[in-house]
Amino acid sequence: MVSGIIIGAIVIIVIGILIIGFSYWAGVETGSRPYKDLGCRELFGYYTNPPEVAKKCNVANAGMVIGLWSFAVGLVFIIVGVMLSIIFGIKSAVDKRKKNVST
């Protein structure tokens, strides 16, 4: 039972790493690079710049937000996985020691 939970915790850690990889792609490739390339920081409003550029800046901003939130979710997955593996790893070690002492 405990070994199954530890394996599940390792799977959760791997899923968290994959989510963080996605967040990097979403944040950099679809977010910050186009944002910098378009010069969105220098644009002041929707009335002073072309609508196409404003839409592209909004999409780039959304990519950065998606990257940030998915990084947070991936980090939570990794923290929970590490905590589960530590807790149930210690529990497994204690159970093995109890089993050796009692026999």
Residue 103 lies in a domain: no
Whether 36 is in a domain gets the answer yes
Q: What are phi and psi of 48, to 5 degrees?
A: -100, -5
**What pTM was computed for the model?**
0.78
Domain that holds residue 30: 2-98
Percentage of residues in the chain having pLDDT higher than 90: 43
Q: Which residues contact 8 (CB under 8 A, 6 or more apart)?
A: 84
Span 5-14, average pLDDT: 92
pLDDT, tens digit, 9 for 90 and up, residues 46-89? 556 677 888 888 888 899 999 999 999 999 999 999 999 999 98
Q: How does pLDDT run across 24-34, given as a tens digit for each residue?
A: 998 888 888 88
**Residue 27 is assigned to a structural domain of this protein:** yes
In contact, 44 and 102? CB cutoff 8 Å: no
Q: 31, 38 in Cβ contact below 8 A?
A: no
Where is pLDDT greater, at 53 or 18? 18
Number of domains observed in the structure of the chain: 1
Q: Is residue 31 part of a domain?
A: yes
49: which DSSP letter? S
Residue 40 located in a structural domain = yes
